[in-house]
Amino acid sequence: MKIIITLLLLIMMSACATSPTGRTQLVFMPDDELDAMGLQAFNNLKSEKSASQDTRENQFVRCITDALAREVGGEWEVVVFEDRTLNAFALPGNKIGVHSGLVDLVDNQDQLATVIGHEIGHVLAKHSNERMSQKLGAQVGVSLIAAIAAPQSAMGQTAVSLLGIGAEYGIIMPFSRLHESEADTIGLELMAKAGFNPSESITLWLKMAQASEGPQPAEFLSTHPSHATRIDDLQKLMPKTVSVMQQAHAAGKRPNCVK
């Protein structure tokens, strides 16, 4: 057991990385495996969901994605899916999906750039890798403690059960909220570097809050920050990112993506 714990600690120590915001991360999944998983998942979605045939809609989304992609490099594939839900996503391997319902909701290029920039932020920060590494680490931790704590006894079973809840709400869920906030930060700076107006991010999330159906779950048990928390955090970043946008405009970066 000591050998197993030592090996686990060595793996975790060697898997330390730094996110674009300077946060220390635990990532030990190979990037090429994550990219392959992202490609497979994206291909599955393309076979299961209908892609938009609206030329104007596709050009609008492609124009925004191209402007953002020029700031991070690489080839990014984007597909607009015929889906009325307000959603977009990005997968390892530089794959982006945007739902037509979200395109209909936004008023302009800057609002949609907020969401696409946010999703690209998840990829740049390797959040999928980190989440999988965390989940694997939590599962291994639970298994090790279960082996030590005599799970056959009633007390041992209770301890393992409580540990499972702690692992879910004490480790996995808070990191998910952290990922969302970090993607907001990365995405806001990215859209500003590309010349989009970051102040429209506030309007976008206000619109999303109004469009949300039903009560939101308590923030503590949610993988996303509350709308109020998200907007407050974005407002704190606004002076810096507006300055970045002004520098981009001075450099001739002025996207003109027409909805």
> What's the pLDDT tens digit per position in 7-57?
455 455 545 677 787 777 777 677 888 888 888 889 999 999 999 999 999
Summarize pLDDT for 168-213 with one digit per residue, the tens. 555 556 668 888 889 999 999 999 999 999 999 999 988 988 887 6
The residues spanned by each domain of the chain are: 18-23+31-250
Sign of the torsion formed by the C-alpha atoms of 209, 212, 215 and 216: negative
Q: Among candidates 41, 47, 59, which has minimal Cα distance to 112?
A: 59
Looking at the annotation, which residues are catalytic? 119
pTM (two decimals)? 0.81
| Residue 62 Rama label (left phi>0; alpha psi -120 to 50; beta) | alpha
